[in-house]
Amino acid sequence: MENIYTFFKSSIIIMIPLFFAAMGGLFPALTGKLNIALEGLLLISAFSSFTVFYFTGSAAASVICAIICAIALAVLHSFAAFKLRSNLFISCIAINLLSSGLCIVLSVKIFNTKGVISVDKTPSNLLEWYILIGLILLIISYLVIYKTPFGYRLRACDKNADSLVSLGIDPVKYQITAIIISAFFCGIGGSFLSLNLGAYVPEMSAGRGWIALAVIFIGFRKPIGVFTAALVFAAAEGYSNYAQGFFDIPSGFILAFPYICSLLAIIAVSVIPNIPKKLNL
């Protein structure tokens, strides 16, 4: 029973940043503009939240700072992509690279090291607070997407942008808003990475932003689907961590297990819906 509880708690801890990143990425995906800068937004949020907590000891201030820093990068990305008309994909990659380099530079300037930085204690009841916030934001996201005019227009930006324009509505404003919303979610998810660990580890986002992109589509671009997919992937990664000490399997394969699951799930989501068509069912 203790092992089951440990496995479940480990999976929830893994799921939280993945869930927030995927929920954030869901909004731009609904507008037809996928935000692949989630990795960089998570990383800058993790670093900024840890830095604030290191000097103030305030978890609330840390989360707020993480959100502000993530939104600042999202605004920069939006300005480059929509105002300067740069390639959206290139702009996202630039944000990821900027975030990685900026964290290194600031780490050297502030802490005089490029390595791991830690604090003596972590905020109390952190996991419970993030679970509560996640559930509240999941419900709010569902209501906003499916029950409000904003949500209708947001979803219309993907395949019915011309209809919005004919009504005098600018789809670009909704696409920019969606990217800023994604930064808000990533700010919360990134802050959990460092606050829960009580340390900042270089590149600690560790591919979660990329996996979050897979979670969005495996969850069929729906809030509940994203939540379910994030939980499944977290369980897969938690199981891989648990399995390292019990099975005589190369550690590289076990560590790659979550990414293998991501690949297989993406293939399944792509292939399965087309099977009835090919069989004329």
Between CA 219 and CA 173 the distance in angstroms is 25
201 within some domain: yes
pLDDT at 251: 61
172 pLDDT tier (thresholds 50, 70, 90): very high
Least confident window among 10-24, 78-92, 113-127, 267-281: 267-281
* 61 assigned to some structural domain: yes
Residue 278 lies in a domain: no
Contact at 8 Å (CB) between 7 and 242?
yes
Alpha-carbon gap, residue 35 to 75, rounded angstroms: 12
Residue 258 clears pLDDT 80, i.e. is over it: no
Q: Which tokens in the block code for residue 45? A: 């949020």
pLDDT tens per residue across span 145-171: 999 999 999 999 988 888 888 888 999
**184: pLDDT strictly greater than 50:** yes
Could you tell me how far CA 235 lies from the centroid of its own chain?
A: 17
The pLDDT of residue 212 is above 70 = yes
Q: Which is higher by pLDDT, 252 or 55?
A: 55
> Looking at this protein, which amino acid is placed at residue 197?
L
92-117: average pLDDT: 93
End-to-end Cα, the chain, rounded Å? 46
Residue 270 confidence (pLDDT) = 65
pLDDT on residue 280: 47
- Please tell me whether residue 41 adopts helix, strand or coil conformation: helix
- Measured CA to CA in angstroms, residue 28 lies from 22, 49, 106, 111 at distances of 11, 24, 29, 35
User: Does 215 fall in a domain?
Assistant: no
List, in sequence order, the alpha helices (H) in the chain: 2-30, 38-56, 59-78, 88-111, 126-147, 149-159, 161-166, 171-197, 208-218, 223-243, 251-271, 275-278
270 lies in some domain: no
Neighbours of 109 (CB within 10 A): 8
Q: In angstroms, rounded to a whole number, what is the distance separating the alpha carbons of residues 23 and 237?
A: 19
- Whether residue 42 is contained in a domain is answered as yes
C-alpha 83/C-alpha 86 separation (Å) is 8
Residue 196 lies in a domain: yes
Higher pLDDT, 259 or 280: 259
Q: How many domains does the chain have?
A: 1
Is residue 159, in this structure, part of any structural domain at all? yes
Q: What are the CA-CA distances from residue 74 to residues 41, 113, 186, 229 (Å)?
A: 8, 27, 10, 25
Domain residues for the domain of 184 are 9-205
pTM of the model: 0.89
**pLDDT of 16 strictly over 60:** yes
The pLDDT value given to residue 279: 46
Q: Can you tell me whether residue 221 is helix, strand or coil?
A: coil
Contact 202, 115 (CB under 8 A): yes
